[in-house]
Structure 1
Amino acid sequence: MDVPANNEQASSALVRIGSAARAAWPWARRVREAAGETLDSWMSSLLGEDFAERLQRVPVSLGSSGVDPFGLDPGWTKYALASAAFLHRRYFRTDVYGANQVPTGRVLLIANHSGQIPIDGAIIGATMFMDVEPPRFVRAMVEKWSQSIPFVSTLFPRVGQVVGVPENARRLLEQGEALLVFPEGARGISKTFDRRYQLTDFGLGFMRLAIETKTPIIPIAVIGGEEQYISVGNLDTVAKLLRMPSFPVIPQFLLPGGQLPLPTKYRVYFGEPMHFTGDHDDDDAVIEEKVWLVKATIQSMLNRGIKARRSVFW
């Protein structure tokens, strides 16, 4: 490639490049628009005509940069929801119960956690968008360590997920959002198969937040996640070396295609709203009693749902 010998030649080269770029821009724009239209058509045929209609009905307050104060980007969220809706409607064939019990306005969604990777969060998000009226974008509280993972640290904020600190949660609820919290945290998602559907200890923060902001709590029981990846143990030493909350031992990974989750049938149960009053700064012992009520409710919902299902896969 020849290098321009002086500034005049360089300027002339830049002009030619600029002219070529301007000439190509309409073509590139048409290609992008056609690709977007094709993808939208594919999503409608796969997920139903109501997907695009519901997307238009979700209010989002965007700043001048095109994202909300926490980084949510409607464009990213659209395709993340499409992926979650595909898992929800096609792959896991989710049955949803009690969706009409979710109130409008701010709400805390409190659910059991399982499955080694947070597919259950995606399913709850898809359910809130596809099955609840009016459709909602769910904002989930994610672990701080997730911000150290390349790509994930960028993806999560763009699709509405927020680092789980009280200040963020409080602001989201003040904006009238639906906030998803897994009080078991990493302890819940990394349960081994022999402890499936046995709730671990709940944190207390969500209850203090609910009382402080006068936010109703919706208990949620998710069934199906515990069987998607069968974990027989956790390698704690390896987890510490990799700075991960757990390192599960999953034999199915050794099989062809075993990296995909098993196509278990998900069932999502929404309970009746729970309201709590008092002082959010009460002693832990007082808060623990209220947390126990939520935990016992979800455990009871899990027990009933497991008893009612005929099969893990259908």
Structure 2
Amino acid sequence: MSATSFLKTKLVPRALSDQIDRIRKPTGSLGYDPWGYNSEVIKLGLALTQQLYEKYFRVHTEGVEKVPAEGPVLIVANHSGQLPLDGVLVGYALAAREHNPRMPRAMIERFFPTVPYLGNLLNEMGAVLGDPINCSKMLANNEAVIVFPEGVRGSGKLYRDRYQLKRFGNGFMYLAMKYGAPVVPVGVVGCEETIPAIANIKPLARALGVPYAPVALPVVFPAKVHLNFGDPMYFDNRDLPEEQVQERVEQVKAAISELIDKGLSDRKRLF
């Protein structure tokens, strides 16, 4: 018995294993797809995520059923918290939903694959290097893809700037238009408080070759997280000038802002 199989039998609840088996992913004879996804590794990852989701962050999720059951879709959310916990929690919410669960692919920053072992692990759990070519291939393969248009501008924001959306890139909109992929906006509330940073040491970040070097306590706080999924937004593939594409991006950004406001209004406490 391999180490992965042994750990799976010890750590993965049967109900969760059966849930993942319901999600069909085409894999080769060794159990991997062309981007490194492995269903046995994902079971271990989701078993850990389940504990974080249900017991540590006590995630309250609304509207996850709005994500289409099949076909290409872009799940677009605000980014925050220094670590990609928001993407992990959004992905788990979709994989664990009762009806028509899906295993989304997350677009990750170029920094993460450079970390020893972490890059391979993230690939095995469905993450893909966040560039337009990879995202195009995912959508062409009818995948659900999690995208954070703020990029490191969002994940590395300081606590004083919490829940203030940074500039969105336009790339996701061009892909949504090209592949006829609906955009499902998501407002994430709570991750801003998990690793609050008071400063970013830019010279240190440049020296280390990392996107940012936050000044923060070396602990992940158990903030209560709210995930609010909005209605799918559809955009045709007309040949539009850049400013009109930007207008569409702003529509998505406004929808996410409203969902963030809803989460902030709904939450009764930080922890």
TM-score, length-scaled by structure 2: 0.94
Name the structure 2 match of 1:267: 226
Distance 1:195 1:234 in 2: 13
Paired residues of 1:234 and 1:247 also in contact (CA < 8 A)? yes
**Match among 123, 126, 133 for residue 157 of structure 1:** 123
- Give yes or no for the alignment of 1:80 onto 2:62: no
72, 82, 99: which one aligns with 2:64: 99
> Which residue is equivalent to 2:252?
294
* CA contact 2:32–2:38 (8 Å) conserved in 1: yes
**Residue equivalent to 1:309:** 267
Answering whether residue 202 of structure 2 is matched by residue 230 of structure 1, we say: no
SS of match in other structure, 2:111: helix
Amino acid of the structure 2 residue aligned with 1:177? E
Report the Cα distance in structure 2 between the residues aligned to 1:77 and 1:33, rounded to whole angstroms: 12
2:183 pairs with 1:183 = no
Correspondence 1:204 to 2:170:
yes
Root mean square deviation, CA, Å: 1.8
Q: Does 1:130 align with 2:93?
A: no
Q: Which has the higher contact order (CA 8 A, sep 6+)?
A: 2
Q: Structure 1: which amino acid aligns with 2:226?
A: R
Q: How far apart, CA to CA, are the structure 2 residues paired with 1:290 and 1:64?
A: 42
Residue 170 of structure 1: CA displacement?
1.4
Residues in 1 aligned to 2:113 and 2:2: alpha-carbon distance in whole angstroms: 36
CA distance in 2, matches of 1:98, 1:35: 33
Q: Does 1:56 align with 2:58?
A: no
- The structure-2 alpha-carbon separation of the partners of 1:203 and 1:270, relative to structure 1 and needing over 3 Å to count, comes to same
Distance 2:266 2:110 in 1: 37
What does residue 249 of structure 1 align with? 215
Structure 2 letter corresponding to 1:62:
T
Cα separation, partners in 2 of 1:32 and 1:159, compared to 1, 3 Å: closer
Q: How many residues align?
A: 270
Q: Secondary structure at the match of 2:251?
A: helix
CA distance in 2, matches of 1:136, 1:182: 18
For residue 36 of structure 2, the aligned residue among 71, 86, 106 is 71
Does the 8 A contact of 2:41 with 2:125 survive in 1?
Answer: yes
Partner Cα distance (2:196, 2:204) in 1: 19
Whether contact under 8 Å (2:4, 2:40) holds in the other structure is no
Structure 2 residues not aligned, in runs of 5+: none
Q: Which runs of 4+ in 1 moved over 4 A?
A: 30-36
Q: Which runs of 5+ in 1 are unaligned?
A: 1-28, 254-258
Bigger Rg, which one: 1
Q: Deviations over 1:149-203 (max 9, x none)?
A: 1111211211111111222111111221110000000010011111100100000
CA contact (8 A) 1:101 1:271 kept: yes
User: Do the aligned residues in 2 keep the contact of 1:99 with 1:132 (CA within 8 Å)?
Assistant: no
- For the residue of structure 2 that corresponds to 1:144, the secondary structure is coil
In 2, distance between residues paired with 1:30 and 1:185?
Answer: 37
Residues 186-237 of structure 1 show CA distances to partners (whole Å, capped at 9, x for unaligned) of 0100111111001000000000000000000100011100001111010111
The alignment status of 1:219 with 2:185, answered yes or no, reads yes
Q: Pick from 74, 77, 81: which aligns with 1:108?
A: 74
1:81-107 residue CA offsets vs partner (Å, 9 max, x unmatched): 111121111111101101221111121
Identify which range, 232-241 or 167-176, moves more after superposition.
Answer: 167-176
Identity value in percent: 35
